[in-house]
Amino acid sequence: MATMKEWIEASPSRKNLVAQERLIALVAEQIYAAIEDDESSKAALAKALGKSKAFVTQILSGTRNLTLRTVADIATALGRTPQFELPREHAESDWQPLQVASFVQLRSRAGVRFPCPNDGEVAADELRAA
């Protein structure tokens, strides 16, 4: 397989497995980031959670399967608000190359002027001529 995408899309189960592993790694990464930002430690987090340091180590290595309740407890112990988002995957067909010429024509018809950092505004017609 030449690319990651080709390997993932070769089977539906791979897509699921990679999504699971990516999420596990992302949660560990964000917990690590919070510990680093606060100049805290795994031991301090373990103490705040009332758990062993080994428990925190397992979380951060991605070997322990976390429940949402545990994630919420960890976030609270770190003084953070847990959040869950499901951003839509963008299909390649959602993205169209922007043709500058078409864009300028479109804005010109609408009578829009373009802000220019050096000379103030320039008219769309001037841009097109340039």
**Crossing angle of helices 53-61 and 12-37, rounded to 10°:** 130
Q: Does 128 bind another protein (CB under 8 A)?
A: no
Q: How far apart are CA 11 and CA 13, in angstroms?
A: 5
Find the binding residues for another protein in span 54-73 (CB under 8 A): 60-63
Stretch that binds another protein, among 12-20, 73-81, 90-98, 117-125 (CB under 8 A): 12-20
Q: Does 2 bind another protein (CB under 8 A)?
A: yes
Encoding tokens for residue 63?
């070997």
17-43 CB burial, b ≥16 within 10 A, e <16: eeeeeeebeebbebbeebbeeeeeebe
Q: Does 14 bind another protein (CB under 8 A)?
A: yes
Find the binding residues for another protein in span 21-40 (CB under 8 A): 21-22, 24-26, 28-29, 32-33, 36
Instruction: State the minimum distance, in angstroms, from the CB of residue 28 to another protein.
Output: 5
CA neighbours closer than 13 Å in the CB half-sphere of residue 123: 6
The H-or-E segment that residue 84 falls in is none
Of 20 and 99, CB closest to another protein: 20
Positions touching another protein (CB under 8 A) are 2-5, 7-8, 11, 13-14, 17-22, 24-26, 28-29, 32-33, 36, 60-63
